Amino acid sequence: MAEVRLQAERRGGTGKGPSRQARAAGKVPAIVYGRGMEPLSITVDRREFVTALLTDAGINVLLDIEVDGDTTLALTRELQRDPVRGTLLHADFVKVDRTTEVEVEVPIHLVGEAPGAKEGGILEQPTFTAHVRCLPTEVPESIDADVSGLGVGDSLRVSDLAEGRSFHILTDAEEVVAHVAAPMSEEELEALEAGAGIEQEPTDVEQAEQAAEATTDDVETPAEGDE
């Protein structure tokens, strides 16, 4: 489990003004809270924090947040990002204890090749994370889901995932992690497109027929007595 030391400073003011000033200075406004402590408003260096999040542990990286010489062991509980640019606006850190279990979301990675996909099926992954309980120092970086036994129509569920010795999966055991769907027929695709209001492009034959009809319509039929 990755563990990163992160220097932080106390944040004197609250509200949009001080937060905006902190972000302009390359800082991320944040708060640290947890059992046995008063919530603490801080700022952390944006570059250092982003670098920590880029470790294999991702958002579950274990942080040693140092403020005024005191260190707090914490996990990132929530990140707020700019909806357009995706830049960090605010972070919530929760204090943890090395000997007390926590609950976190862990990514699920599909591994192997599904035979059903080779047969024309479509491999789908409805569930991308699993809710896990474990010690902070033993959070897995990811959970592998082996799809090498999936044929067309087969599914892999949470109950099929192997639990490690250090963590317990709390997600509903019947939740589908991966599924190989049968290839969609042309009729099903047309019905789906019609339901979505999508007009299909005419085929070459249909285009030729439409052109022929247009040409016929352009030729005037002589009226009686004009011959």
Same domain, 81 and 145: no
In a domain, 204, yes or no: no
Considering the entire predicted model, what is its pTM? 0.73
Residue 12 and residue 45 share a domain: yes
Q: Does residue 198 fall inside a structural domain?
A: no
Alpha-carbon gap, residue 40 to 65, rounded angstroms: 11
Task: Choose the final residue of a domain: 163, 181, 199.
Answer: 181
CA distances from 67 to 10, 70, 78 (A): 7, 5, 20
* 223 pLDDT tier (thresholds 50, 70, 90): low
Residue 186 counted as domain residue: no
The answer to whether 177 touches 145, Cβ cutoff 8 Å, is yes
Same domain for 140 and 74: no
Confidence of residue 17 (pLDDT cuts 50, 70, 90): confident
Residue 200 has pLDDT above 70, yes or no: no
Q: Are residues 77 and 142 in the same domain?
A: no
- Domain range holding 91? 3-96
Confidence grade of residue 211 (pLDDT, cut at 50, 70, 90): low
According to the model, what pLDDT value does residue 227 have? 46
Give the containing element (helix H, strand E) for 181.
strand 176-181
Report yes or no on 202 lying in a domain.
no
Contact between 57 and 139 (Cβ < 8 Å)? yes
* pLDDT score, position 206: 61
Residue at 221 is within a domain = no
94 has pLDDT over 90: yes
Q: How far apart are CA 139 and CA 110, in angstroms?
A: 19
Q: Given this model, what pLDDT does residue 20 score? A: 87
* Nearest-angstrom CA–CA distance, 136 and 104: 9
pLDDT of res. 191: 77
Mean pLDDT (the chain) is 87
Calpha distance 123→51 (Å, rounded): 33
Element (H, E) at 31: strand 27-34
Cα 50 to Cα 47: distance, rounded to the nearest angstrom: 5
pLDDT (tens digit, 9 = 90+) per residue, 129-139?
999 999 999 99
| 91 and 161 both lie in a single domain | no
Model confidence at 118: pLDDT above 80? yes
CA 68 to chain centre: 35
> Given a cut of 70, is residue 207 above it in pLDDT?
no
Q: What percent of the chain has pLDDT over 90?
A: 67
> CA 142, CA 81: separation in Å to the nearest integer?
23
Boundary-marking domain end, from 96, 120, 152: 96
Q: What is the pLDDT of residues 23-70, one digit of tens each?
A: 999 999 999 999 989 999 999 999 999 999 999 999 999 999 999 999
> How many other CB atoms are there within 10 angstroms of residue 71's CB atom?
13
Tokens linked to 147: 């799809």
Q: What digits encode the pLDDT tens for the residues 160-176? A: 997 767 899 999 999 99
